[in-house]
């Protein structure tokens, strides 16, 4: 399992960029970028080097943690998957590329693409001293245009990206990303009902084109959850001092909520159930909400079933269990 916290090389690269950079200025920029996201806007307000660094300080640890948690789930289902090439669509500061490089030592070719110049420049700066990532290729441009020119890759990732495009654009992008995927496509979104809605639409669209779900779902059927419920997960990550300063936060950690789907062309041999919320553990039983190959299940494991109870006590939200 890869750690959800930023790798030392990336932390050092960010710290290097921070020298001489005002934390209060970064905090103000990060607050304004966050407000734009909350109001439904995109990354268009990130225009300068200072904006890009503020974004990376405030959001990169959390999106890194969410992508890593999704990749860990994928690796658990497909332990033999050893991609050589990666395409990071809407790569921003390179978050998903760093996460994929940690999760898959097999990766050799890294292609990133994004329309945002400031984030692209920052990504190249952050990767400059990295042994694995100094040779990344980073195309600047609108995603579909850049994708059409790129080579297909074993692993294609779009992290916190598709929500920045309109609905029709999302469908066209999903189709193109799938066409460029030789093995697995991972899409990660914020763990909101809207983020889940985008994941579910893309999932349905691509299953109709032959994709199979590797994670989180244990089936390729219709999602059994009904509004106002939605499928999402949570990942805890540590906050550095600079991260706390930029967020004006005291607590040394945060919990990132995210939704994701990993779709593959490969056969999926293991399809364990997925824990959809933190189970309630009592002295009498473990009560857990599971997505199973047969649908939604509110499972109770009584204490008298000693061995099952002992293992169910260890279940965590997001785990694959059988």
The answer to whether residue 291 forms part of the interface with ligand SAM (CB under 6 A) is: no
Cβ–Cβ under 8 Å, residues 86 and 154: yes
Which tokens belong to 252?
């040394």
Rounded to the nearest whole angstrom, what is the least distance from the CB of residue 159 to ligand SAM in the complex?
4
The answer to whether residue 116 forms part of the interface with ligand SAM (CB under 6 A) is: yes
Which residues in 162-232 belong to E strands, given as ranges? Answer: 181-190, 212-215
Kind and range of the H or E run holding 68: helix 49-77
Write the interaction track for ligand SAM spanning residues 51-90; mark x where CB under 6 A is met and - where it is not.
Answer: ---------x--x--------------------------x
Cβ–Cβ under 8 Å, residues 84 and 108: yes
The answer to whether residue 156 forms part of the interface with ligand SAM (CB under 6 A) is: no
Write the interaction track for ligand SAM spanning residues 92-111; mark x where CB under 6 A is met and - where it is not.
Answer: xx-xx---------------
Q: Which residue sits closest to ligand SAM, CB atoms considered? A: 92
153-159 and 181-190 strand pairing: parallel
Distance of CA 22 to the CA centre of its chain: 29
Which of 227, 180, 228 lies closest to 206 in space, CA to CA? 180
The answer to whether residue 43 forms part of the interface with ligand SAM (CB under 6 A) is: yes
Taking CB under 6 A as the criterion, the residue among 164, 183, 189, 319 binding ligand SAM is 164
The answer to whether residue 160 forms part of the interface with ligand SAM (CB under 6 A) is: yes
The answer to whether residue 159 forms part of the interface with ligand SAM (CB under 6 A) is: yes
According to DSSP, the residues that pair with 110 across neighbouring strands are 86
Rounded to the nearest whole angstrom, what is the least distance from the CB of residue 156 to ligand SAM in the complex?
12
């Amino acid at each position: 399992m890869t750690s959800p916290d930023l790798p030392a090389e990336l932390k050092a690269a960010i710290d290097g960029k921070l020298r001489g950079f005002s934390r209060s200025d970064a905090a103000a920029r990060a607050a304004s970028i966050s407000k734009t996201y909350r109001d439904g806007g995109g990354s268009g307000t990130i225009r300068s080097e200072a904006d890009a660094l503020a974004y990376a300080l405030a959001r990169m640890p959390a999106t890194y943690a969410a992508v890593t948690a999704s990749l860990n789930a994928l690796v658990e289902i497909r332990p033999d998957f050893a991609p050589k090439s990666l395409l990071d669509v809407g790569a921003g500061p390179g978050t998903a590329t760093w996460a994929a490089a940690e999760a898959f030592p097999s990766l050799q070719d890294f292609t990133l693409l994004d329309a945002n110049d400031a984030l692209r420049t920052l990504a190249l700066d952050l990767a400059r001293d990295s042994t694995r990532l100094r040779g990344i290729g980073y195309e600047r441009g609108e995603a579909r245009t850049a994708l059409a020119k790129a080579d297909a890759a074993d692993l294609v990732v779009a992290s916190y990206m598709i929500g920045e495009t309109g609905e029709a654009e999302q469908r066209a992008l999903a189709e193109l990303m799938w066409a460029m995927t030789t093995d697995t496509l991972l899409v990660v979104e914020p763990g909101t009902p809207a983020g889940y809605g985008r994941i579910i639409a893309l999932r349905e669209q691509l299953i109709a084109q032959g994709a199979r779900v590797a994670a989180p779902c244990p089936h390729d059927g219709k999602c059994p959850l009904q509004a106002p419920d939605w499928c999402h997960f949570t990942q805890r990550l540590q906050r550095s001092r600079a991260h706390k300063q930029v967020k004006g936060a005291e607590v040394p950690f945060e919990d990132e909520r995210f939704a994701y789907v990993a779709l593959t062309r490969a056969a999926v041999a293991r399809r364990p159930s997925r824990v959809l919320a933190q189970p309630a553990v009592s002295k009498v039983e473990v009560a857990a909400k599971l997505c199973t190959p047969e649908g939604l299940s509110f499972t109770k494991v009584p204490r008298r079933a000693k061995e099952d109870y002992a293992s169910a006590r260890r279940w965590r939200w997001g785990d694959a269990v059988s």
